[in-house]
Amino acid sequence: MTHITISWVRMPDGQPGRTDGRGVIWLDKRLQQVERRCTITHEMIHVERGHDGCQRPRIEYQVRAETARRLITIDDLCRHGAWAHNLHELAEELWVTPDVAQDRLDTLTDDEKDHLAAVEHQPR
C-alpha cells in the first residue's frame, strides 16, 4: 500500500497506533519492533476496510482476530505451541505481542483446534 504514510508520533492517549482509514497511520515512536509489526498490521486492516475513527467493540474484535490470523499461521502455532511453556514464550517465538498470540488462540476455528490437538498429542 504505497499510498499510506506512516507518521511516528508520541500517542497522547497511550494507544500504540491509529489511522484515518485512508492514507495515514500514526504509530507511537516508543513501540518496540514486535509492537510495531503488530500495530501496523492491525491498522492496515482498518485501512483495507475503510475504517476511520474509533470502531465499535465488535468491529475491533474482528480486526484483532484478522491481525492475529495474518501474523500467526496455524503451522507456526503448532510448531511453537507444542513446546512453549507460557503465552509470553509463545508470543516471543512467533514474533508477536502476547495480546496478539492470545487473540489467535481465542479465535481458532474448530478445524484449527483439532489440528493443534493432534500435534500436541504426537510423541516427541
The pLDDT score that the predictor gives to residue 53 is: 79
Over the stretch 35-71, which tens digit does the pLDDT of each residue have?
A: 999 999 999 999 999 998 789 999 999 999 999 999 9
Domain boundaries, the chain: 1-55, 72-124
> What nine digits make up the cell of 90?
509463545
The pLDDT score that the predictor gives to residue 3 is: 85
